[in-house]
């Protein structure tokens, strides 16, 4: 009864109605045509596989839809009676549909990918060398995503007896770990751990346990540049996670398919084990999620972690209990044996309470953790070595990308490491917030300690005194090399040097030797630079060095006290002493946002124009080009007004609009 002929005949039977074929082939052919259309316009930013998240999403959607199309008969009592009364094994009906679904998705996927690959290689010579590897990797990634979601859909259908329960179960399987890691664990960590910045384990868990995130990473979510996209191969951990999802789900399907009884159709759960598992997992998640939300909403943890932990644990128990009762009510009907699973309910409530209490309990050791023997350390101080706009994003909007970039840039393993660890030990020893006045805190430092294979992140508030003591780190050779990458440039004689003082830019006419001389002078100036000097003066400009090979631009910030550098620049025709005051300013536009300070007063935006010589002269004394605002913490400027100055460039007889900021009185 399960001969190959019989299996094939049942595969054909699964195709009755041609819905799966229509969906699989129709969607892929349509998508393929759209892709080829887009590729014909541009192959630099359009990708048909890796580098483009759409195929992953398409395959995820197709996996779910095909699962529901192929196995919908498991919700239909009449159809099951019909099939199962025939001289065929239940497993033959099931697995023939399983293969049928794969056939009508993976085959068109392969054909579309191959067609796109061949087409792009015909029109894009750069792609031609990657046609095999890129197309193969894209196909495998798409097929993997399809199988993950196809299996999720099938498992949800097998363990449930009706569509009404299968859809929420399917959504729960997809979202469960995303919520647990992203909305519960990370919420708890950020609320209870004062020094929390990031826990890589949680991020890895989210990446691997959330099918949507995993599928996006398989398609290279963070890869944009064509050169990187074409060479992208998902990490081994991602491949193993995808295989894990596929294999584990397949084994669960295999088990559930054998265990499922025909009479399970129509019930919420067709398998008692699945019902119990769903109750446990959903009740637990409801409890900890509510507790996490509560902690986040009230901010109690900032006042007292113990009180917040106790309140969260109580709330978690209450919500887990309510969720358990609600699920029991839905499954068994209202009022019927609501407490039939007392021990299960008690265990779930206890687990939720323990999970909530674990964070405040571990908070103290987390915050005081300091790996004195770390093999390396990365440091990023908000507002140090970053422009005001980036500082605003990091501080105000909580964006992390600049901090992450700095952590990557300022990785110290030599003399800088020893100095940084010494400095950080003092800060970490302060116990994060205890005994510190908010007024005394000027910024935050984020550190990443490299302990063995692990990266441990912490963020600490920094007082003015501590910032001053950071000079011990700042003035190390290693830190300076990171902070001023121009000192590492070699063989720059063919590179293009341009001087920019924040208002105008001019190319520097230097010979190769003069360029090397300029860099050597800069190295010497940087080696003598102290952090204190950064608070005394603004830069007078910067030299942008565009590499002849690759075109990368390196900036060389020049301060007026860089005697050697300034001398060479003067020789090259740059007036390093020229400030904004020396430019012929035509007008100044000042835009100010006024806030309502008392009842009856009206806020708004006022714009003023200053054009008389007296007014212009007065403004010129106070203005600085905003491009020179590179140390917003060490040399703060007044950003309360948006100022645009129009200057005249006599050489080109043109007008230049420059964004400016005000010097502070204290400056």
Partner 1 sequence: MIWIRNVSKHFGSVCAVNDISLEIPEGMMFGMLGTNGAGKTTLLRLLSGILDMDSGEIMVDGKMLGEAKDKIFYLPDDPYYFPNASLEEMSRFYAGQYPEMDCEAAGYMAEGLNLDIKQPLRTFSKGMKRQAFLILALCSGTKYLFCDEVFDGLDPIVSEIMKNLFRQEMKERKFTAVVASHRLNELEDICGNIAILHKGGLVTAGDLRGRSEHVKKLQCVFPEGTDMDTLERELRQEMEIVRFRADSDFVTLIVRDVTASALSELKKRAEVAREASMSLEEVFIEEMEGQDYDIRKVLY
Q: Which residues bind partner 1 (CB under 8 A)?
A: 1, 9, 16-17, 78-82, 84-89, 261-263
3-state secondary structure of 642: strand
Q: Which residue's entry shows tokens 């393993």?
A: 413
Residue 94 CA to residue 107 CA, distance in Å, equals 20
Beta bridge partners of 545: 497, 554
Judged by beta carbon, residue 333 or residue 422, the one nearer partner 1 is: 333
- In the complex, the smallest distance separating the C-beta of residue 16 from partner 1, rounded to whole angstroms, is 6
Positive or negative, the Cα torsion across 362, 366, 370, 376?
Answer: positive
Beta bridge partners of 143: none
3-state secondary structure of 545: strand
Judged by beta carbon, residue 299 or residue 333, the one nearer partner 1 is: 333
- In the complex, the smallest distance separating the C-beta of residue 71 from partner 1, rounded to whole angstroms, is 16
Judged by beta carbon, residue 263 or residue 415, the one nearer partner 1 is: 263
3-state secondary structure of 209: helix
Judged by beta carbon, residue 262 or residue 659, the one nearer partner 1 is: 262
Judged by beta carbon, residue 63 or residue 264, the one nearer partner 1 is: 264
- In the complex, the smallest distance separating the C-beta of residue 10 from partner 1, rounded to whole angstroms, is 10
3-state secondary structure of 134: helix
- In the complex, the smallest distance separating the C-beta of residue 86 from partner 1, rounded to whole angstroms, is 5
Measured CA angle at 114 (ends 112, 119), to 5 deg = 95
Judged by beta carbon, residue 248 or residue 330, the one nearer partner 1 is: 330
Residue by residue, DSSP assigns 48-69 as SBTB-SHHHHHHHHHHHHHHHH
Q: DSSP letter at 482?
A: H
- In the complex, the smallest distance separating the C-beta of residue 17 from partner 1, rounded to whole angstroms, is 7
The token duo for 638 is 């007044």
- In the complex, the smallest distance separating the C-beta of residue 257 from partner 1, rounded to whole angstroms, is 13
- In the complex, the smallest distance separating the C-beta of residue 18 from partner 1, rounded to whole angstroms, is 12
Judged by beta carbon, residue 16 or residue 509, the one nearer partner 1 is: 16
Mapped to the 3 state alphabet, what secondary structure does 317-353 carry? HHHHHHHHHHHHHHHHCCCCCCCCCHHHHHHHHHHHH
- In the complex, the smallest distance separating the C-beta of residue 40 from partner 1, rounded to whole angstroms, is 41
- Could you tell me the CA-to-CA distances from 449 to 112, 375, 402, 471 in Å, in that order? 46, 8, 18, 20
Cβ atoms 558, 540 nearer than 8 A:
yes
Judged by beta carbon, residue 9 or residue 344, the one nearer partner 1 is: 9
């Amino acid at each position: 009864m399960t001969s190959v002929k019989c299996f094939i005949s049942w595969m054909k039977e699964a195709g009755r109605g041609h819905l799966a074929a229509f969906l699989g082939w129709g969607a892929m052919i349509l998508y393929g045509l759209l892709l080829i259309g887009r590729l014909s316009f541009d192959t630099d930013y359009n990708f048909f596989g890796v580098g483009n998240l759409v195929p992953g999403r398409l395959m995820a959607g197709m996996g779910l839809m095909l699962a529901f199309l192929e196995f919908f008969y498991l919700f239909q009592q009449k159809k099951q009676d019909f099939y199962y009364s025939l001289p065929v094994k239940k497993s033959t009906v099931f697995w023939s549909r399983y293969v049928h679904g794969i056939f009508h998705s993976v085959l068109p996927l392969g054909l579309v990918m191959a067609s796109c690959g061949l087409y792009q290689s015909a029109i894009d010579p750069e792609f031609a060398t990657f046609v095999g590897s890129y197309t193969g990797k894209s196909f495998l990634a798409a097929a993997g995503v399809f199988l993950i979601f196809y299996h999720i859909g099938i498992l949800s259908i097998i363990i449930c007896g009706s569509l009404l329960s299968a859809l929420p179960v399917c959504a729960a399987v997809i979202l469960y770990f995303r919520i647990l890691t992203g909305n519960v664990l990370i919420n708890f960590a950020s609320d209870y751990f004062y020094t929390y910045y990031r826990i890589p384990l949680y991020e890895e868990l989210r990446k691997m346990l959330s099918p949507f995130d995993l599928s996006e990473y398989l398609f290279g979510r963070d890869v944009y540049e064509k050169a990187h996209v074409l060479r992208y191969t998902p990490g081994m951990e991602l491949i193993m996670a995808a295989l894990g999802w596929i294999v584990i789900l397949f084994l669960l399907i295999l088990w559930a398919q054998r265990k499922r009884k025909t009479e399970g159709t129509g019930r919420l759960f067709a398998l008692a084990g699945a019902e119990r598992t769903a109750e446990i997992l959903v009740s637990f998640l409801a409890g900890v999620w509510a507790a996490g939300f509560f902690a986040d909403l009230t901010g109690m943890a900032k006042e007292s972690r113990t009180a917040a932990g106790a309140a969260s644990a109580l709330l978690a128990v209450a919500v887990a209990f309510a969720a358990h009762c609600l699920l029991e009510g839905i499954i068994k009907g209202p009022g019927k044996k609501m407490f039939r699973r007392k021990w299960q309910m008690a265990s779930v409530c206890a687990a939720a309470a323990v999970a909530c209490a674990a964070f405040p309990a571990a908070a103290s050791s987390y915050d005081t953790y300091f790996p004195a023997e770390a093999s390396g350390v990365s440091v990023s101080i908000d507002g140090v070595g970053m422009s005001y706009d980036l500082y605003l994003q990091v501080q105000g909007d909580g964006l992390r990308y600049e901090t992450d970039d700095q952590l990557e840039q300022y990785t110290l393993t030599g003399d800088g490491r020893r100095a940084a660890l010494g400095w950080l030990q003092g800060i970490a020893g302060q116990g994060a917030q205890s005994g510190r006045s908010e007024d005394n805190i000027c910024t935050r430092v984020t550190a990443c300690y490299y302990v063995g294979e692990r990266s441990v992140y912490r963020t600490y508030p920094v007082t003015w005194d501590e910032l001053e003591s950071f000079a011990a780190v700042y003035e190390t050779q290693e830190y300076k090399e990171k902070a001023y990458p121009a000192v590492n440039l070699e063989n720059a004689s063919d590179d293009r040097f341009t001087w920019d003082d924040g208002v105008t830019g001019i190319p520097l006419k230097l010979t190769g030797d003069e360029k090397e001389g300029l860099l050597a002078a800069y190295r010497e100036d940087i080696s003598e630079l102290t952090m204190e000097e950064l608070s005394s003066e603004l830069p007078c400009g910067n030299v942008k060095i565009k590499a002849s090979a690759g075109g990368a631009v390196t900036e060389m910030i020049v301060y007026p006290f860089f005697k050697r550098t300034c001398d060479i620049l003067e020789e090259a025709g740059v007036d390093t002493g020229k400030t904004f005051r020396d430019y012929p300013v035509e007008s100044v536009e000042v835009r100010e946002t006024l806030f309502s300070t008392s009842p009856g007063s009206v806020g708004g935006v006022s714009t003023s124009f200053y054009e008389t010589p007296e007014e212009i002269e007065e403004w010129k004394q106070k203005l600085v080009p905003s491009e020179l605002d590179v140390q917003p913490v060490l040399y703060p400027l007044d950003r309360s007004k948006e100022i645009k100055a129009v200057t005249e460039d006599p050489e080109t007889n043109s007008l230049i609009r420059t964004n400016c900021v005000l010097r502070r009185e204290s400056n």
